Structure 1
Amino acid sequence: MAADTRPFKIPHSVLVVIHTPALEVLLINRADSPGYWQSVTGSKDHEDEPLEATAVREVREETGIDCAIGTLTDWQLENVYDIYPKYLHRYAPGVTRNREHVFGLCVPAGTPVALNPREHTAYRWLPYLEAADACFSPSNAEAILLLPQFTKP
Structure 2
Amino acid sequence: MSINYKIPESVLVVIYTPELEVLLLERADKPGFWQSVTGSKDSLDEAPEITAQREVMEETGIDTSQHRLSDWQISNVYEIYPTWRHRYAPGVTQNKEYVFGLCVPRDISVKLAPREHLRFQWLSFAAAADLCFSASNAEAILQLRERHNGRPA
TM-score range, shorter chain: over 0.9
> CA, structure 1 residues 11+108, in 2 after alignment: closer, same or farther (shift >3 Å)?
same
Q: Return the alpha-carbon distance in structure 2 between the equivalents of residues 16 and 48 of structure 1.
A: 19
Which of 60, 64, 67 is the aligned partner of 1:67? 64
> CA, structure 1 residues 152+89, in 2 after alignment: closer, same or farther (shift >3 Å)?
same
The question of whether the paired residues in 2 share the 8 Å contact of 1:41 and 1:58 is answered with yes
Could you say which residue in structure 1 is the equivalent of 2:122? 125
Could you say which residue in structure 1 is the equivalent of 2:103? 106
SS at match of 2:145: helix
The aligned runs of 1:1-150 (5 Å cut-off) are 7-150=4-147
Runs of 5+ consecutive residues of structure 2 not aligned to the other structure: none
Runs of 5+ consecutive residues of structure 1 not aligned to the other structure: none
How big is the shift at 1:152? 4.4
Q: Return the alpha-carbon distance in structure 2 between the equivalents of residues 150 and 119 of structure 1.
A: 29
Q: Return the alpha-carbon distance in structure 2 between the equivalents of residues 46 and 97 of structure 1.
A: 17
- TM-align CA RMSD: 1.1
C-alpha deviations, 1:119-148, integer Å up to 9, x for none? 000000001000000101111000000011
SS at match of 1:148: helix
Seq. identity, %: 62
Q: Return the alpha-carbon distance in structure 1 between the equivalents of residues 19 and 3 of structure 2.
A: 40
How big is the shift at 1:108? 1.1
Q: Which runs of 4+ in 1 moved over 6 A?
A: none
Q: Return the alpha-carbon distance in structure 1 between the equivalents of residues 3 and 51 of structure 2.
A: 18
How many residues were matched structurally? 150
SS at match of 2:115: coil
How big is the shift at 1:70? 1.4
